[in-house]
Amino acid sequence: MAQRDHRKGALPFAFVPIPKDVLTMPEFRAMPTSAKALMLDLMEQYTGKNNGRLCPSWECMQRYGWASRGTLIRAKVALLDRPFAVLTRKGHAPRTAEWIGFTWWKLDYEKSMDIEPRDFAHLNFMRLTVADPNTGRDQSKKREVWSQNRTDNTRKVILRGPKTVPMEVDE
Radius of gyration of the chain (CA): 29
pLDDT digits (tens, 9 = 90+) for 12-57: 888 888 999 899 888 999 999 999 999 999 999 999 999 999 999 9
Give the pLDDT band (50/70/90) at residue 169.
low
pLDDT digits (tens, 9 = 90+) for 87-146: 999 999 888 999 999 999 999 999 999 999 998 888 887 765 556 666 766 666 555 554
Interval 61-77 mean pLDDT: 97
154 belongs to a structural domain: no
111 belongs to a structural domain: yes
Look at the chain and report how many structural domains it folds into. Answer: 1
47 belongs to a structural domain: yes
Give the pLDDT band (50/70/90) at residue 164.
low
Is the pLDDT at 76 greater than 80? The verdict is: yes
pLDDT of residue 75: 97
Whether the model pTM is above 0.75: no
Pick from 34, 57, 55: nearest CA to 45: 55
3 belongs to a structural domain: no
2 belongs to a structural domain: no
CB 100 within 8 A of CB 87: yes
24 belongs to a structural domain: yes
pLDDT of residue 148: 47
CATH code for the domain in which residue 78 is found:
1.10.10
Domain of residue 61: give its range.
Answer: 20-119
CB 125 within 8 A of CB 21: yes
Interval 140-159 mean pLDDT: 52
**H, E, C per residue of the chain:** CCCCCCCCCCCCCCCCCCCHHHHCCHHHHCCCHHHHHHHHHHHHHCCCCCCCCECCCHHHHHCCCCCCHHHHHHHHHHHHCCCCEEEEECCECCCECCEEEECCCCCCCCCCCCCCHHHCCCCCCCCCCCCCCCCCCCHHHCEEEEEECCCCCEEEEEECCCCCCCCCCCC
147 belongs to a structural domain: no
134 belongs to a structural domain: no
